[in-house]
Structure 1
C-alpha cells in the first residue's frame, strides 16, 4: 500500500485569493433600481446583437430563403427558392448577418467533422487515407477549362463522383450558403439610420452646403457604435478627435491593420516624386526631398496593383454590382519620411498610379512639412484629406485581399493540405503544426462561400473577375522564405534585430519590434521540439535524406503552388519552415485581423471604395471641398455602409482565453506535468520555457507600447493572451 505524503496545502497566488467571493457578495440581493431602469426601455431601445434561432428559422422559411432537396435523389443539386429580403432595418440586418455567418461556419465544421478532416474527437488516420480525404481543388483551371477562382485549397464542394460526400454536403444545406448572405441584405431600408443617411445624400444631390457633414458622422459614430467584442472593447478610431490627421494616417502603417507592406522608397520612385514636386510647384518639397537621407523615406507602394488585378495600366478601376451603386477603386502610392524622433510623416500621395510613372498620375504634396508643424488647418484641408482617403481605399483592398485573405488564410490552408497529404500524424512536423490549424479549414471554406463572393465584391471598386485574379496573383508571387520576419524586415529597409529596432526612430514601429521578438521565441520553441526527435549532431544528414520531408516540401512547391517553399536539407531550414507556418497562423494573422473593427468600422476612415469618379488633374483636386469628399464616401449607401462596417466587426471578435498562444503552451505543460519518459519530460520543460518566454513578451510588448510617442494608440494586439493559436476567424 502506498504511503500518503503529508505536507501543507499549496498557497494560491494573490489573484486567486482576491477572486474568492466574500460572504456579503454571495448574500447580496439584486438591485431593484437597475431592473426598473431596464423596465423603462422599450423593446426597440434594447440592443439586438443576435437573433433567436427559432425566430431566424421561421423568418427564412416565411421569406423563402432556403433550398429543397429531392428526397429520392440526394446526390441531385438542391433547388433554391426565390425568396429575398426586399426591405429591412440596419440593426436587424446586422443581427441576421451575424447569426447566418455563425451558422454557416458551424455547418462547415459539421461537414468536415463527418468527413474526418477536422474531427471533433481525435482520430488517428493513416497517411494514405489522409491523402484520399485531403483532395486539392483544381488549379490553375477548373475541369471545364475556366480559371479557378481561388489558389489551391481543400476541395470542399464534392465532385460528381463523390456520392457520399455529395449527400452529406446537400443534407447540411451547404449549397445554400453560396447565396444566403446576399439574400439577407435588403434592397431598401426602414429606420432612422436610413433617413439620416439619405438626408445627407439628398443634400449632396441638391448641391446644398455640406459644411459640418463629417462632424455629423462623428456624432453618429459616438452614439451608435457597436458593442465591445474585440480587443479594443468596441472603440474605434472615429472616437478620436484627430482621426483624420496626418499622425493617425501615418501611424497605421506601423501599428494599424496593415503594418506589413511599408518599405524604403526605391531610388527611381524617389526621383519621380522629386520631379513631380518640381513640376507641380511644390518648391519647398522639391528643395527638401533631395537633401533627405533616402533610407528614411518609406512608401506604401501600390504601383503594381493593376498588373495583379489583370487590367491595363491606364484602365479605370470601376465596378457596379446589381444591388450596389457605382464604385471606383484606385492604386494610391504614399511617400513618408521617418523622423529621428520616431514620427512617420506623410510627404506626398499619388491618388491613383496609372501608366509607367508619376508624370501620368495626380500627385499631391502635404502642406505640412514637419510633424511639428501646426495642425489647425488639417481638418479643412479637403484636397489632402481626399488623397489620404484614396490611400485608405487602396489599403483596404490590399489588406483584406492580399495581406489578410491570401498571405494568412490561403497560404496556411495550402500548407495544411500539403502536410496532411504527405506527413504521418505521429511525425514531429505534424505534431508541431497541427495545434495551429484548429478549425482553419472549415472557417476558410465558409469564407470562400460567403465573404468574397457575397460581401467583398459588392463593396470594392474592382470587378469580381479582377478580384479573383488579384487573389491568385498575390498567392503565386508570395515569397515564403523572404517573408520570414528577419528577411521581411531587411528587404523592406528596416533593422531585423531587437538591437537595431531599439533606435529612437523606430520607437513607433511596434509591429516590427514585437514580431522580431515573437519570431525568435517561436523559433526557439520549434528547434527545441525538433531536438526531441532528432540528434543535433546528425540532424542535417537525417533531414536531408528523409523521404517524408522530401515529399512534404515537393508537395508544397508543386501541388500547393508555393514555389518559394524551401528545399529542406538542414535542421535550420526545417526549423525556419515550421516557424513560418506557426507565425502565419498565430501572430501574423492576429496582427492583421484583430484590429479591423477599431480602424474600419468607422467607414469614412477607411472606406472600401470611392463613390464618385476620381479627379483627373491636380488642379481639379485642389478645388475639392467637404462636399467632394462626402460624395466620394459611401454615406447614404446603406448596403455598402453596412457590409463595410459588418466585416471588421464580424472578424474582430476577441480570442477566447483558451484558444490563445500562451494557453496552448500552458495546456501542453499541464498534459505532461507528471511525465515519465525522457522525451515527455523534455516536452514538458520546453513548454514551460515557451510559456515563460511568452509571459516575458507580454511585459515587453506593454513596454514597447508605452514607449511609443505620447498620444499613440496602444498596440497590444500581439499580447500572447490576445494572439490566437490558429486562424480562428
Structure 2
C-alpha cells in the first residue's frame, strides 16, 4: 500500500475506537505489566541463567514454563520444527545435500538398530531444515556490538518412539574446515551452542519470512487488490472483506514501529539493519503458490505421514472446512466456468495481485487469470487461510516458544564456533543478547501475542455482508464445522504434554490484526 503512515489510510481501514484505545494502553502499560521498565536501557550481558529466569517470570505462559524446562533436550529441539512457532521449514530428506558435510560414519552410531543413513532415508525417517535464505546477510550491530547470523543446515532422524531428534548441525552453508558438523556425540556445551545458533536463525526466519512476509504482506496485497478491484456489492468482496479487517493499519504500524529505522526489530535483532530488507527480498523471490497452499506445501515437503505433526493435522482440517464454505459460496454465484472467465472485475483482481505482487514468474506457479470455478475456489481458500489460520499458527505461538529467551535469542554476540571443544555455559551466556535487547524482544512478542479486546474468531462475521438466504446458511454451516473442529482439537490436547492450540478455530482470528 502507498501510505505514509496510519493517518493516511481511509477511515474504513483504520482501527476501531476500542482497538485503537487498546493499542495505546497496551504500548504504554506493557513494560509496567511485565515489570521490565527498569531494564529497558540496561546494556549489560547476562551473568547466569537464573537471572534470565527472574527477568522473564511475568512473560511465562504454562507452555513457556515447559519450554524453559525442556529447551536443552534434543527431542524438544526437534518437536519445535513440527509444532512450534515456525513449522513450515522442515522437509523429508531423500538424499544428503552436497553442501552438508555429513557421512555415514559421522551419524551411523546415532541411528537405532544398526541401520544405515541410506536405509533410513529410503524409509522416510530422515528430515532436513535448511536456513539458506540467511546465507550472506550482514548481521546487525546492537548496542555498538556486532551480532552474528548463521545459515544452518539441520539433519534430523525420526526414531522408533516417534521422536524427531537432531543428529547433525552445520552452522554455515559451505562445508569447509572452519565450519564443522556438530552432533550429539560432541561435548554438551558445543552441541547446545550449535542448537542455540539454529534457534536464533529460526527466530529471524520466523519473524520476517513465515510471519511478516507470508501472512502480513500477502494479506495486505490481497486486501489492496480487493479494495481496488471489487465494488462492495460483488460476492467476492462480501466473502473476502471480513478477512482484511485492520490489516492495512497493523502493517503500517509494523513498518513504523518494528521494521523502520529506530524500530524494535530493526534496532535490537541480529537480522535488523541492512539485513532486514535483503532477507525480505530473498524470501519474496523464493515464495511460490505452493508455499501458500497448505495441502500442496505439506506434500511438496514430503510431510504427509509424519506422526505427531499437529500443525499439519489441524491445518488440513481447517483448510478443508474453509474450502467447503468458499466452494459453496463461489458455486452459488458462478454457475459455470464461463461465468468466471467473463467476470472482468474478478480477472482485474487476480491481475492486480500478480502485477503489484510481482508474482508473474512461471516458476512461482500463481494463476494469472481464472478459468474455472474450482481454480477460483482454491485460490480464495488460500487467501482466507493465510489471513486467518496461517497467521494464528505463526503468531499465537510466539510467547509460548520465544518467551524463554535462550530458546529463541533475538541475536547472538559471539561468532559461531569454528572448531570443537571451545564452548562452555559461560561462553553461551556471553553470546546471548544484552538485557535491554532481550527486554525489547520480549515486549514485542508479548504485544503481538496478546488477544485484542475486539477479537473476532474465524467465521465470526462470515454472513455479515450477505443478504441472500443460501449464502447465510452456508456461513452458519461453516461456523458449525469450526465448532466441531474446536471440540476435536481440545479433546486431543488433553493427552498431550505440549498441547497444540494455535489452530483451534476459537482462537484463530478472522484476519491479520496484530
TM-score (norm 2): 0.86
Q: Partners in 2 of 1:347 and 1:725 — Cα distance?
A: 39
Distance 1:580 1:651, change over 3 A: same
Within 5 A, what are the aligned runs for 1:34-113? 111-113=8-10
1:428 to 235, 247, 251: 235
Query: Which residue is 1:318 aligned to?
Result: 139
Q: Which has the higher contact order (CA 8 A, sep 6+)?
A: 2
TM-aligned CA distance change 1:542 to 1:267, over 3 Å: same
Shift of 1:282: 5.5
- For the 8 Å contact 1:274–1:290, the answer to whether it is kept is no
In the alignment, which residue of structure 1 is the partner of 2:20? none
In the TM superposition, 1:178-577 aligns within 5 A as 198=44, 200-201=46-47, 213-221=48-56, 224-226=57-59, 232=61, 236-237=64-65, 240-269=68-97, 272-275=100-103, 278=105, 284-285=109-110, 288-294=116-122, 295-306=124-135, 309=137, 317-321=138-142, 323-353=143-173, 355=174, 357=175, 361-367=179-185, 381-453=188-260, 454-462=263-271, 464-495=273-304, 501=305, 505-506=306-307, 508-535=308-335, 539-563=336-360, 564-566=365-367, 567-577=369-379
Q: Is the CA contact 1:655–1:723 (under 8 Å) kept in the aligned structure 2? A: no
Change over 3 Å in CA distance of 1:409–1:658 after alignment to 2: closer
State the secondary structure of the residue aligned to 1:267.
Answer: coil
Number of matched pairs: 487
Q: 1:216 to 1:728 in 2, by over 3 A?
A: same
The CA RMSD measured in Å over matched residues stands at: 3.2
Q: 1:701 aligns to what SS in structure 2? A: helix
CA distance in structure 2 between the aligned counterparts of 1:578 and 1:332, rounded to whole angstroms: 35
- Whether the 8 Å CA contact 1:526–1:575 is kept in 2: the answer is yes
Deviation of 1:304 (Å): 3.9
**SS across alignment from 2:185:** coil
1:115-158, CA deviations, whole angstroms, 9 ceiling, x for partnerless residues?
Answer: x554869xxxxxxxxxxxxxxxxxxxxxxxxxxxxxxxxxxxxx
Matched, 1:721 2:506: yes
State how far apart, in whole Å, the 1-side matches of 2:177 and 2:417 are.
15
SS in 2 for 1:349: strand
What is the Cα deviation at residue 654 of structure 1?
2.2
Distance 1:654 1:342, change over 3 A: farther
Question: Which SS does the other structure have where 1:614 is aligned?
Answer: coil
How big is each residue's C-alpha offset from its partner over 1:312-346, in whole Å with a ceiling of 9 and x where there is no partner? xxxxx43324x442211111111111235432111
Partners of 1:682 and 1:494 lie apart in 2 by 37
CA contact (8 A) 2:154 2:169 kept: yes
Aligned mates of 1:401, 1:239 — CA distance in 2: 22
Residues 386 and 629, structure 1, Cα contact 8 Å, conserved in 2: yes
Contact 2:96 2:102 (8 Å CA) reproduced: no
Does the 8 A contact of 2:133 with 2:279 survive in 1?
no
Q: Residue 126 of structure 2 contacts residue 157 of structure 2 at CA under 8 Å; is this kept in 1? A: yes
Alignment correspondent of 2:485: 697
1:65 corresponds to which residue?
A: none
Give SS of 1:628's match: helix
State the distance in 2 between where 1:655 and 1:192 align.
26
Task: Give, in whole Å, the separation in 2 of the partners of 1:367 and 1:274.
Answer: 14
Bigger CA radius of gyration: 1
In 2, the alpha carbon distance for the partners of 1:440 and 1:650 equals: 16
Corresponding residue for residue 684 of structure 1: 472
Q: Which residue of 1 aligns with 2:408?
A: 606
Matches within 5 A, 1:103-142: 111-114=8-11, 116-118=12-14
Alpha-carbon deviation of 1:523?
A: 0.3
Query: Does the C-alpha gap of structure 1 residues 699 and 656 become closer, same or farther in structure 2, counting only changes over 3 Å?
Result: farther
- Contact 2:40–2:440 (8 Å) recurs in 1: no
1:580 correspondence with 2:382: yes
Counterpart of 2:332 in 1: which secondary structure? coil
Separation of aligned partners in 2, 1:192 and 1:302:
32
- Give the secondary structure class of the aligned counterpart of 1:531: helix
Question: Shift in Å at residue 283 of structure 1?
Answer: 5.9
- The answer (yes or no) to whether the contact 2:167–2:183 under 8 Å persists in 1 is yes
Would the alpha carbon gap of residues 568 and 382 (structure 1) be closer, same or farther in structure 2, given more than 3 Å must change? same
**CA distance in 2: counterparts of 1:200 and 1:481, whole angstroms:** 43
**Structure 1: any 5+ residue segments left out of the alignment?**
1-106, 122-176, 202-212, 310-316, 369-379, 496-500, 673-678
Structure 1 pair 529/463, CA: closer, same or farther in 2 (3 Å)? closer
| Aligned 8 A contact 1:540 1:569 in 2 | yes
Q: 1-side partners of 2:110 and 2:395: how far apart?
A: 36
Q: How big is each residue's C-alpha offset from its partner over 1:77-127, in whole Å with a ceiling of 9 and x where there is no partner? A: xxxxxxxxxxxxxxxxxxxxxxxxxxxxxx96654244x554869xxxxxx
The whole-number CA distance in structure 2 between the counterparts of 1:689 and 1:599 is: 34
Q: How far has the Cα of 1:270 moved from its partner?
A: 7.4
Secondary structure of 1:586's partner? helix
Secondary structure of 2:270 counterpart: coil
Per-residue CA distance 1:500-554 (angstroms, 9 max, x = gap): x5xxx51x2100000100001000000111122122xxx2111123222221211
